[in-house]
Amino acid sequence: MKTLKGFKEYCGETLAALVVPVKNQLGVNMPEFWDELENISRSYCGAAAGFSGFIYYSETVKFWRAYRKKITAHMEQLAWELGENVLQMVCSFNGLKDYDQGDIARALYGRYDDDLTSIYNVFAWFALEEVANRYADYDYENR
């Protein structure tokens, strides 16, 4: 049986810290949360397909600003697991390939800057997609 506690344990520490914030941002109850994560993980476009709470810059930037440390911690953990530099890994994200590495670094580690809104958006989408993709694995293993 799928449970929030079981899913968070499956996620590992850094991603588990983002599960409830993602659920709250989506604004759904638990059965809807599982369905939404499944929809996101199956979407060809990922978060860019448009999911409640992660559509408008006003939503995604607010999410990034509220959970920046947790998202960055997960990025760092993932990069370490992949044997990559965090900045190089992040620069390879689909939505960031046309951005200057310096701007991406400022968005990751610098002060908030309105000029970096679209980068913050990608970071919020990263968190959403990471939770959704991990859920797909969890769901598969718990059928």
Tell me what pLDDT residue 97 has. Answer: 87
Smallest CA-to-CA distance from 33 within 58, 63, 8 is with 8
Dist CA 86 CA 141 (whole Å): 29
Query: Model confidence over 45-68: pLDDT tens digits?
Result: 999 999 999 999 999 999 999 999
Query: Model confidence over 69-85: pLDDT tens digits?
Result: 999 999 999 999 999 99
The answer, as to whether pTM is greater than 0.85, is yes
Tell me what pLDDT residue 31 has. Answer: 94
Dist CA 47 CA 129 (whole Å): 6
- Give burial (CB, 10 Å; 0-12/13-18/19+) of 12: middle
Residues 6 or more apart whose CB falls under 8 angstroms from that of 70 comprise 14, 17, 18, 21, 127
Tell me what pLDDT residue 106 has. Answer: 97
Tell me what pLDDT residue 143 has. Answer: 84
Dist CA 95 CA 97 (whole Å): 6
End-to-end CA, the chain: 8
Per-residue pLDDT tens, the chain, 143 aa: give them: 789 999 999 999 999 999 999 999 999 999 999 999 999 999 999 999 999 999 999 999 999 999 999 999 999 999 999 999 999 999 999 899 889 999 999 999 999 999 999 999 999 999 999 999 999 999 999 88
- In the DSSP assignment, the letter for residue 116 is G
